[in-house]
């Protein structure tokens, strides 16, 4: 793999290093050990106003070692793969563990839950693009944005990025697996108008396989059209009205759900979704699935950070919460079973409805289409939600004018339950897939 992929070590070599670390940890007094060892490299090129702005290359590697002495835990890391450095890291982790209080929930996940003999998840699609070709691609992207209209006068740049990495996870319960993955991206941000009437917008795409990226011209065109559409934005009067979160923003609502339904927030009693398993937390229109084994998907994996095997599951069915997102540790804290979500969720998919975004606008009739969110006003303990926003005011199912300098507010508990519909416009560029979301009513603070 090293010679054909650009990695300095093969998967077999990473596994040899991992096995050596486990042996050293056991010999030096660890009752259990787990580790992650990885390396990766990438390139990012950006162009602004037709001129090369930045060219960046990165290459990194590292190993993170966690040891247990009974139920005392210590952790250390290093980027040096020499035997002496790795042994020193094990010693450092053991030293920390000896001075750490015992935690009755600490320890490896049950051996019976570990992933074994995992097939290739098919997430690795190297992109052999040189700097000159990446610069040309970025230029084409930016030029496409400028060609939308003469009023697009400035740019924050267009960029092309590529990254590939591989890793091995292992522990003393007999788990040792790993794989390679890639991610590639194309983005553009431009400014329309001049003086006090300027509006900025952007667009981007990201894929495992560069062959599936949107064309540079399409990314630039969409960025330009979005900036142009924002010209003439104004405030609206404070009111309550239906709100549509455009698909790129709708995934943030699903992210808030994942955070609130995750073990760490639950066992700390810092979540508005505490003790809601089996209860109605969304409207009946919502069905959320976890599909960790889809090829080429972001968030796809055969195992979580604990080495526990992942499985397809239904997280929300007809609005009813079927399961949390738990690691081995958080599950023990809650007296539950791990869900294989150490490290987060794995490729969540919100079932789409039949409506396009235009159909959702007609269904809303009068209200706000949100295309940009600002700030981070979310209280996960209470569910209170308040963020700056921009977008478009809609009347009779049609966009009437752009809107800016407003705040939208509500409570996530109420917002989830008042989802009217999910659009069919989900984007394939992330680990959460969700179309635009129409919420029945929210507070909108303006003039």
pLDDT tens, position by position, 281-323: 999 999 999 999 999 999 999 999 999 999 999 999 999 999 9
Q: Does residue 192 contact residue 227 with C-beta atoms inside 8 Å?
A: yes
197 to each of 213, 223, 228, 242, how far by Cα in Å? 32, 17, 11, 27
**pLDDT interval class at 195 (50, 70, 90):** confident
Question: What per-residue confidence (pLDDT) applies to 250?
Answer: 97
Lookup result for tokens 């920390």 = 96
Q: H or E element: which one contains 416?
A: helix 412-417
Domain formed by 2-228, architecture: 2-Layer Sandwich (3.30)
Q: Does residue 307 contact residue 115 with C-beta atoms inside 8 Å?
A: yes
Question: What per-residue confidence (pLDDT) applies to 2?
Answer: 46
Lookup result for tokens 């400035």 = 154
> What average pLDDT does this structure show over 220-243?
96
* List of residues 6+ apart from 11 with CB closer than 8 A: 1, 166, 168, 178, 179, 180
171 to each of 10, 68, 149, 176, 413, how far by Cα in Å? 19, 11, 57, 7, 39
Distance separating the N- and C-terminal Cα atoms of the chain? 60
* List of residues 6+ apart from 252 with CB closer than 8 A: 245, 373
Nearest 5°: phi and psi at 221?
Answer: -60, -45
pLDDT above 90: residue 128: yes
pLDDT above 80: residue 11: yes
**pLDDT interval class at 1 (50, 70, 90):** very low
Lookup result for tokens 């084994």 = 293
The whole-model pTM stands at 0.94
pLDDT above 70: residue 4: no
Hey, what long-range contacts does 322-325 have (CB within 8 A, 24 or more apart)? 322/277, 322/278, 323/277, 324/261, 324/262, 324/263, 324/266, 324/277, 325/258, 325/261, 325/262, 325/263
Q: Directed axis angle between helix 216-229 and helix 131-146, to 10°?
A: 30
Q: Over the stretch 196-209, which tens digit does the pLDDT of each residue have?
A: 789 999 999 999 99
pLDDT above 90: residue 194: no
pLDDT above 80: residue 85: yes
| Mean pLDDT of the residues in the chain | 96
Q: Does residue 178 contact residue 167 with C-beta atoms inside 8 Å?
A: yes
pLDDT above 60: residue 422: yes
Query: In this predicted model, which residue has the larger pLDDT, 407 or 4?
Result: 407
Lowest mean pLDDT among 225-229, 386-390, 426-430: 426-430
> What average pLDDT does this structure show over 98-125?
95
**pLDDT interval class at 276 (50, 70, 90):** very high
Q: Over the stretch 137-152, which tens digit does the pLDDT of each residue have?
A: 999 999 999 999 999 9
How far apart are alpha carbons 21 and 170 in whole angstroms? 10
Share of the chain above pLDDT 90, in %: 96
What is the domain partition of the chain in residue ranges? 2-228, 233-447
Nearest 5°: phi and psi at 286?
Answer: -105, 130
pLDDT above 50: residue 10: yes
Q: Does residue 288 contact residue 68 with C-beta atoms inside 8 Å?
A: no
- Rounded to 10 degrees, the C-alpha dihedral 148/149/150/151 comes to -120
């Amino acid at each position: 793999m090293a010679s054909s992929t650009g990695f300095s070590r093969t998967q077999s070599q990473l596994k040899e290093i991992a096995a050596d670390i486990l042996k050293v940890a056991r010999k030096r007094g660890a009752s259990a050990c787990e580790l992650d060892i990885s390396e990766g490299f990438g390139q990012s090129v950006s162009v602004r106003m037709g001129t090369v702005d930045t060219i960046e290359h990165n290459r990194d590697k590292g190993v993170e070692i966690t040891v247990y002495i009974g139920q005392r835990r210590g952790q250390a890391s290093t980027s040096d793969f020499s035997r002496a450095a790795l042994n020193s890291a094990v010693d450092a982790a053991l030293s920390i563990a000896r001075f750490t209080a015992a935690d009755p929930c600490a320890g490896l996940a049950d051996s019976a839950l570990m992933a074994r003999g995992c097939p290739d998840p098919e997430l690795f699609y190297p992109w052999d693009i040189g700097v000159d070709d990446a610069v040309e691609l970025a230029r084409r992207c930016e030029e496409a944005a400028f060609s939308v209209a003469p009023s697009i006068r400035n740019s924050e740049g267009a960029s092309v990025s590529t990254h590939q990495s591989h890793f091995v996870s292992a522990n003393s319960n007999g788990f040792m697996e790993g794989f390679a993955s890639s991610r590639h991206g194309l983005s553009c941000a431009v400014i329309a108008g001049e003086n006090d009437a300027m509006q900025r917008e952007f667009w981007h795409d990201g894929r495992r396989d560069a062959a599936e990226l949107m064309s540079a011209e399409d990314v630039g065109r969409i960025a330009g059209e979005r900036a142009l559409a924002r010209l003439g934005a104004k405030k609206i009067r404070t009111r309550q009205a239906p709100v549509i979160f455009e698909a790129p923003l709708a995934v943030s609502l699903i992210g808030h759900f994942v955070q609130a339904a995750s073990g760490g927030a639950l066992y700390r009693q810092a979540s508005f979704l505490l003790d809601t398993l089996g209860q109605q937390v969304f409207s009946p229109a919502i069905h959320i699935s976890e599909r960790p084994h889809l090829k080429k998907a972001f968030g796809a994996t055969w195992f979580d950070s604990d080495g526990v095997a992942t499985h397809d599951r239904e997280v929300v069915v007809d609005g009813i919460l079927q399961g949390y997102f738990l690691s081995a540790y958080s599950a023990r804290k809650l007296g539950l079973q791990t869900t294989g979500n150490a490290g987060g969720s794995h490729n969540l998919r919100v079932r789409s409805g039949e409506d396009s975004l235009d159909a959702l606008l007609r269904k809303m009739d009068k209200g706000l289409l949100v295309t940009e969110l600002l700030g981070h006003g979310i209280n996960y303990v209470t569910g209170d939600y308040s963020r700056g926003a921009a977008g478009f005011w809609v009347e009779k199912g049609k966009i009437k004018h752009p809107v800016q300098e407003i705040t939208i507010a509500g409570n996530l508990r109420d917002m989830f339950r008042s989802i009217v519909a999910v659009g069919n416009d989900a984007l394939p560029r992330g680990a959460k897939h969700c179309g635009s979301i129409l919420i029945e009513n929210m507070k909108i603070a303006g003039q």
